[in-house]
A and B are shown apart, each in its own frame.
Chain A
C-alpha cells in the first residue's frame, strides 16, 4: 500500500481526535501551550508488538505495516488438466498395448507367411507346385545324378517291407516337420513321386527355427496330404511339427521297418530321420539334399532354380529325385515307360544295389 502524503497523514490524525468537533482544530491537551502541535492519538509505544488478532488487523488503506509479510510454502490443491492426470498416461499406454496385442492375435488367426506351425496352413502356391511337378526332361537329363551319392541300401534277407493297401508297392517315409534334412529330402521326393502320380492337400512349412540347427528351411509337409498313383502307394508319417509337437505315429508295420533298418551300420544312430523304405527292395537313411544350400531361400526361390541345370540347388534336388525315380522304377517294373526310360533314369537304375 503506497505511503500517504504528509498532508493526508495530518488530516487523518485530526479526524481521530475524539474531542475535535466540526470545523474545530484538533483538541489540545490542557498542557499543550500555544505553538505546540496537535497531540496525536497515542499509538503503540516502542517495544510493543503489533496486535495480531484479526480484529486489530488494519482494514483500511493506511500506512504500511512496519513488519514485512512472511510467506511459507504450503500445498494447495490445484486440479490439473485431464491429460496431466496420472491415470491418463498409464491408461493410455495400457490401452495402446492391448490394441497391439489384439492386432497380433488377429494376424495369428488369419495366418502369416512366416508361420509354419503344426497344421501347415498354407497350401502350396500354383507356381511352386508347377515347378516341382514339371521339371523339364532336358534339365533332368542334363543334371543326371547331380553328383548325389546313391542313397539306397538293399533290403536283404527276409524282406518285411510294407505293401500298400491297393497291393501296390508302398513307399514309406518317416520324418518330422522340424527336421531340416527331411526338409531338403522332401523337395526331391515331391519331384520324384509327381512323375508317378499326383499330390493333393500338400502344404508349405519350414524346419524348426533353432539357430543351433539349420533353421527355417523352406519345404513341404506331407502331414494331411494325400497321394494317388496307379503305380505306387505313398505312406508318409510326419512324427512332429516344426515346434516339436507330436503329429503322427507309425503303425506297427511301419515301426517294424524302422526297427529293422533305421539303425547302425546304415545310420549313425537308431531312429534317424528322414527314413524311407521302397517296397521290398530298398531303404534310405539320409537326405540327398543339403539343407544348408536352401538357407535364406523361400519356396518360390527354391522352385525357381529347378529350370537351371547349372544351379547347385537344382542339381541336388533334381539329381536326388532322379535317384529316387530310379528306385521307384525298380518297384514298378519300369512303369510308366515315359518316366523310366527317359535319361538319366536307366543309367541310374543300373547302378542300384542288388540284394
Chain B
C-alpha cells in the first residue's frame, strides 16, 4: 500500500506531500529566473543586479561561461529545461497521490538523480564564478540555491521513515 493511500492525517503522507510541493515551488521559481535571464540575453539587455565588486552579474553573464561550451546558447536554456523536468517529477508524485495510486518505483530515485545532475552543473558554474571570474551573479546564485534545496528535498523523500508489517487480528 502506498504511503499516499493511507489516511490523510498520516504523518508520512503529510511529509511526502509537503516535499513534493516544495520541489514544485523550487522548480517554478528557478524556471522564472531562467526565463527572465534568457529573455534578457536575446534582447541584449542587462539584468537588474549589482555591478562592481565581487557581485557583478552583468560581467558574469557576458563571460564565456554563460554559454553552453562550443555554442552560443545561453546556459539559462538548459536551466529552464532542468526546472521543467524537476517540476514534472514532483507533479507526477502529487497527481498519483490525488488519484490514490502508488507512485512508480523509479519516480523518486529518478528525481534524486536529476537533482544530482543539476547539482553537478551548479558546482561547475560556482567554480567558473569563484575561481575563474572572481565574480558572482546574484540571479545565478539564486538558482544554484534552489537546485541545492531540490537535491536535499529529493534525497529526503527517497528514504521512508516507516516500514509495514503484518499483525494478527484479535
Contacts and interface: CB of A to CB of B under 8 A. Distances in A.
Interface of A: 52, 54, 57, 69-78, 80, 84-90, 93-94, 97, 100-101, 104-105, 107-108, 112, 114-115, 117-118, 208-212, 215-216, 243-245
Contacts of A88: 159
B162 A93 contact: no
B156 A115 contact: no
Given A89-B158, A209-B63, A245-B59, A94 B152 contact: yes
Given A70-B168, A115-B132, A210-B63, 11 more contacts: A73-B164, A73-B166, A76-B167, A89-B155, A90-B151, A93-B155, A105-B130, A112-B131, A209-B132, A243-B59, A243-B134
> Would you list the 6 A-B pairs with minimal beta carbon distance, nearest first?
A209-B64, A86-B156, A243-B59, A90-B152, A89-B155, A117-B134
Contacts, number: 120
Interface stretch (B20-28, B37-45, B77-85, B119-127): B119-127
B165 A243 contact: no
Contact of A243 (B56, B127, B163, B167): B56
A111 B25 CA distance: 38
A74 B163 contact: no
A102 to B, nearest CB: 10
Contacts of B52: 245
A75 B169 contact: no
A323 to B, nearest CB: 32
Given A85-B159, A86-B156, A210-B63, A93 B151 contact: yes
A52 to B, nearest CB: 8
Contacts of A108: 130-131, 134
A187 B83 CA distance: 46
Nearest to A53: B170
B112 to A, nearest CB: 9
B164 A244 contact: no
Contact of B161 (A52, A86, A212): A86
B63 A74 contact: no
B130 A104 contact: yes
Given A89-B158, A97-B148, A209-B64, A115 B134 contact: yes
B65 interface: yes
Nearest to B3: A75
Nearest to B58: A244
27 contacts: A71-B166, A72-B166, A75-B6, A75-B10, A75-B164, A76-B164, A80-B159, A85-B161, A86-B156, A86-B158, A87-B156, A89-B156, A89-B159, A90-B151, A90-B155, A94-B152, A97-B148, A104-B131, A108-B130, A108-B131, A108-B134, A114-B131, A115-B133, A117-B133, A211-B64, A216-B64, A245-B59
A107 B170 CA distance: 66
A112 B134 CA distance: 10
Contacts of A101: 123, 126, 130
A315 B127 CA distance: 37
Contacts of B9: none
Interface string B65-93: 10100001000000000000000000000
A118 B132 CA distance: 12
A78 B12 CA distance: 13
Contact of A86 (B64, B65, B132, B159): B159
B65 A209 contact: yes
Contact of A112 (B132, B166, B169, B170): B132
B111 to A, nearest CB: 13
Contacts of A72: 166-167, 169
B170 A90 contact: no
Interface in B140-164: 148, 151-153, 155-159, 161-164
B65 A75 contact: no
A57 B52 CA distance: 82
A80 B164 CA distance: 12
B169 to A, nearest CB: 5
A74 B59 contact: no
A244 B62 contact: yes
Nearest to B19: A86
A83 to B, nearest CB: 10
B14 to A, nearest CB: 14
Most interface-central of A100, A107, A245 (chain B CB within 10 A): A245
B135 to A, nearest CB: 6
A240 to B, nearest CB: 10
B56 A245 contact: yes
B60 to A, nearest CB: 8
A80 B127 CA distance: 37
Contact of B169 (A71, A90, A117, A245): A71
A176 to B, nearest CB: 13
Nearest to A112: B131
Contacts of A75: 6, 10, 162, 164
